[in-house]
Structure 1
Amino acid sequence: MEAVAYSNFRQNLKSYMKQVNEDADTLIVTSKDIEDTVVVLSKRDYDAMQETLRVLSNNYVMDKIRRGDKQFESGNFTTRELLEVEEDD
């Protein structure tokens, strides 16, 4: 994670936006006042983080995930071949 001063970020906004999107890395934008420091991340990363939070906060889904993990760890599962589906013309 890189840190950059606010004035440098402002002068090179387009470049930093491109960097954040291409590198999938967050960027800390610092300011003289520590309370004004922000973190910049791509929309794709933000959306992924929000989805993760939604899943983690959903008890029903998390219970299913934990149950599946236990089944996998105990070897209580069946492996199946994927079916090829022909597309309709």
Structure 2
Amino acid sequence: MTAVKSIDIRNNFNTFCDKVFGGETLIISRPKNENVVMISENEYNLLQKAKRNAEYLSMLDRSIEEAKSGNIIVKSLEDFD
């Protein structure tokens, strides 16, 4: 992980894009500590997938706890007609 100033990004954008594409993460320093992070699209997609997986697993955990506590509704196939 490398920290750079926003002016350096403006002056050397292609160079930093190549570094990010090569796997490096950049922290871009901005005034008032409003920093941003630059990552590759592949890394972003992996983070999004991990987030979705965590949300799904959390939903499953809640469902399992509800079932264990008896908070379920049982229906037969005839109930869906």
Fold match by TM threshold 0.5: yes
Q: Which digits, 9 at most, give the CA deviation of each residue in 1:34-73, with x for residues without a partner?
A: 12x110000000000100111111038966xxxxxxxxxx
1:18 aligned residue = 18
Q: Could you state the TM-score of these two structures normalised by the residue count of structure 2?
A: 0.67
Q: Letter of the 1:5 partner, please give it.
A: K
Unaligned stretches of 5+ in structure 2?
62-81
Secondary structure of the residue aligned to 1:25 is coil
Relative to structure 1, the CA distance from residue 16 to residue 54 in structure 2 (aligned partners, 3 Å threshold; closer, same or farther) is same
Cα RMSD (Å) of the superposition? 1.9
- Percent sequence identity over matched residues? 28
* Correspondence 1:1-89 to 2 at 5 A: 1-22=1-22, 24-35=23-34, 37-59=35-57
Secondary structure, counterpart of 1:33 in structure 2: helix
Aligned residues: 61
In structure 1, C-alpha distance between the alignment counterparts of 2:30 and 2:54, rounded to whole Å: 33
TM-score normalized by the length of structure 1: 0.61
Structure 1 residue runs of 5 or longer lacking an equivalent are 64-89
Structure of higher CA gyration radius = 2
